Homo-oligomer: A and B are copies of this chain.
């Protein structure tokens, strides 16, 4: 394994330990809801978003562990969005990362409530960042403002809304970009921004990170679309071809497979150009390469 992948795994482990600390224990009453929240959270995710938050803080001289509550909150938001997305009234997916989805194990009602609870607890956990020494209260308030916008109806939920309304419909390029940038990019952008804001990064640098986050988000989503066509089901932990079956417009379906590959390549060059404006951005260069080449 490359050094980068080891670092990603190690940081991911720190996040998982913190998630275990911040989530209610599964023996707390009513147990069923806490079991469901934990089942969906500890499901082999790559923890990309919280890692971005920690590494963005480090880019501006703040130790990554000072932003762990915020990083965990973001991962809870990501997890809730997957639980709700998988529900029969949404994408109706039975498998996620090789395991039965939350509603398959706990039933639709508990899965709905577990998603709601993860989203609610995310803000509780982010607010806890205010207790960490050296973090300004104003930065925490700004981070809550930013993350709630990124995850809301003008961000991630906006993208999911367009996704739902576009099924079985041919959409234009503008709508495709809106959908994928909002579904995935907004929260990834906010993950980077949050780490940097807690580290008191200056405004021009926050703007640069926003541009970087947009590129990374699009790379992430386009590669997702490509893997749904050419990926290995075993590595992905879910059946491929679900976009075609659900009549979803994706980058390859709108732009073609080869053009989508080219778009990923261009975006990754643009992302690296932004990273080179920072000192010590090596982790992010490798992350971009990892996201482009990932098989899962």
Partner-B contacts on A (CB < 8 A): 24, 28-30, 32-34, 37, 80, 84, 87-90, 108-110, 112-113, 115-117, 119-121, 123-124, 127-128, 130, 137-138, 140-141, 144-145, 148-149, 151-154, 157-158, 160-162, 164-165, 178
Contacts and interface: CB of A to CB of B under 8 A. Distances in A.
A151 B33 CA distance: 14
B152 A120 contact: yes
A87 B24 CA distance: 26
A90 B123 CA distance: 24
Given A24-B153, A89-B108, A164-B110, A158 B123 contact: no
B152 A124 contact: yes
Given A24-B153, A120-B151, 8 more contacts: A30-B153, A33-B161, A84-B116, A110-B164, A115-B116, A124-B149, A137-B138, A141-B141
Nearest to A23: B153
Nearest to A167: B109
Most chain B CB inside 10 Å of its own CB: which residue of A87, A127, A149: A127
A67 to B, nearest CB: 16
A176 to B, nearest CB: 14
Contacts of A162: 30
A75 B135 CA distance: 30
Contact of A117 (B89, B108, B140, B152): B152
A109 B90 contact: yes
Q: Give me the 3 closest cross-chain CB pairs, A-B, nearest first.
A: A124-B148, A137-B137, A117-B153
Most chain B CB inside 10 Å of its own CB: which residue of A32, A152, A178: A152
A262 B115 CA distance: 38
6 contacts: A30-B161, A33-B157, A113-B161, A115-B116, A124-B149, A127-B144
Contacts of A145: 124, 127-128
A86 B164 CA distance: 20
Contacts of A154: 24, 28
Nearest to A144: B127
A115 B84 CA distance: 11
A157 B149 CA distance: 23
B157 A117 contact: yes
Most chain B CB inside 10 Å of its own CB: which residue of A116, A138, A148: A116
B141 A37 contact: no
B158 A144 contact: no
Contacts of A130: 138, 141
Contacts of A30: 153, 158, 161-162, 165
A256 to B, nearest CB: 26
A29 to B, nearest CB: 7
A157 B127 contact: no
